[in-house]
Amino acid sequence: MKQKLAAFLFMAAALLTTLSSVASPGMLVVLPSSGASSSTAPAEKNWADTFGTNPDVKALSPEMLKMSLDKFLTLTPSKYKEMTGKKLGLKKSMELKAAQKYVKKKMTSGADISKGVYVLLAILGLGWLAMGLLDDWSGSDWIVNLVLTFLCWIPGIIHALVKMKKYYS
C-alpha cells in the first residue's frame, strides 16, 4: 500500500511538473484518475515515459513497459515466464533488476528538498526535520540527529552534513 501511494505521488508530481511547464496560467488541466486494482493505458505508459531516458529502462521488452508500475517493481524472472511463457536469459534478468533498481532509486530520491535547503536547515539546527522528510519519517537517522541537536547544536549540524550523502548522491 505504501509503495502504491509513493508511486502514485511520484507520478502525479512528475505529471504536474510537466503540465506546469507546458500549461498557460489560464488553462484548465484535468488529470485522469486510476483505480486501485486496474490501470489505464496512459498511466501504465507514464512510468516508462518518465524513466525511459535511462539505458536500463530502454533495454526492457515491450511487455515490461506496458505493465503498471507496481507489477514492474515486483516482477521476477519466474513471474515473467508465467506471464509470457518466455524465459528471461541472464542478460535480460540483469537488465530487469538494474531497471527496477533505477526506478526505485528515482522514486525514493530526495527530490523533495533541494541540497541548499538541506544545508540551510542543518545549519539552523533543523537537520532532523529535513532528514525525517526525506526518509518519510522511517529509520533512526532523524531521531539521532534530533537528540544530537538538543544536546548540543554543533554535533547535530555535523551529523546532518555527514548523512547528507545518503540523500544526495
pLDDT digits (tens, 9 = 90+) for 76-108: 888 888 888 888 889 888 888 888 888 877 776
Residues 52-78 have pLDDT tens digits of 777 777 778 777 878 888 888 888 888
Contact predicate 104/119, CB 8 Å = no
Q: Are residues 163 and 91 in the same domain?
A: no
Same domain, 83 and 52: yes
Does residue 92 share a domain with residue 146? no
Domain check: are 68 and 85 in the same one?
A: yes
Q: How many domains does the chain have?
A: 2
Burial class (CB in 10 A: 0-12, 13-18, 19+), 130: buried
What are the DSSP calls for 108-125, one per residue? HSS-SS-HHHHHHHHHTT
**Which of 108, 141, 156 is a domain's end point?**
108
Q: Report the alpha-carbon distance of residue 165 to residue 30 in Å, rounded.
A: 38
Whether 93 and 126 share a structural domain: no
Q: Which domain holds residue 159?
A: 115-167
In this structure, the answer to whether residues 75 and 143 fall within a common structural domain is no
Gap between the Cα atoms of 115 and 49, Å rounded:
26
The pTM of the full predicted model, rounded to 2 decimals, is: 0.42
